[in-house]
Amino acid sequence: MSETTTDHDKIRKWAEQHGGKPAVVKSTHGQGGVGIIRIEFPDAPNSKNDSLEEISWEEFFKQFEDHKLAMVFEQKSNFNKIISRDSAK
């Protein structure tokens, strides 16, 4: 069952428990802000994604707040999706 949150501590804790790290799509990085953010799982099978670049949690959450985002995730898997807060309602 999925859950939606905007809580930074909850997102970071969930990501770190699953080996996730904050990342940005390289082609969007630095173009008027951080860029399109994602949670990357570098140690998961078939997860090598050359289009992502690791960033700090501070950069991640600045972009998260600047664009009023929320995260949908499943507690027991790596599934996650970053969405607008408007669509989370």
> pLDDT (tens digit, 9 = 90+) per residue, 17-65?
999 999 998 887 776 667 889 999 987 766 666 788 899 999 999 999 9
Its pTM stands at 0.87
Q: What span, in angstroms and rounded, lies between the C-alpha atoms of 29 and 6?
A: 22
Domain boundaries, the chain: 2-84
Distance between CA 19 and CA 21 in Å, rounded? Answer: 7
Interacting residues of 5 by C-beta distance below 8 A, sequence separation 6+:
11, 70, 71, 73
User: What is residue 5's predicted lDDT score, i.e. its pLDDT?
Assistant: 97
Rounded CA-CA distance 85/13 in Å is 20
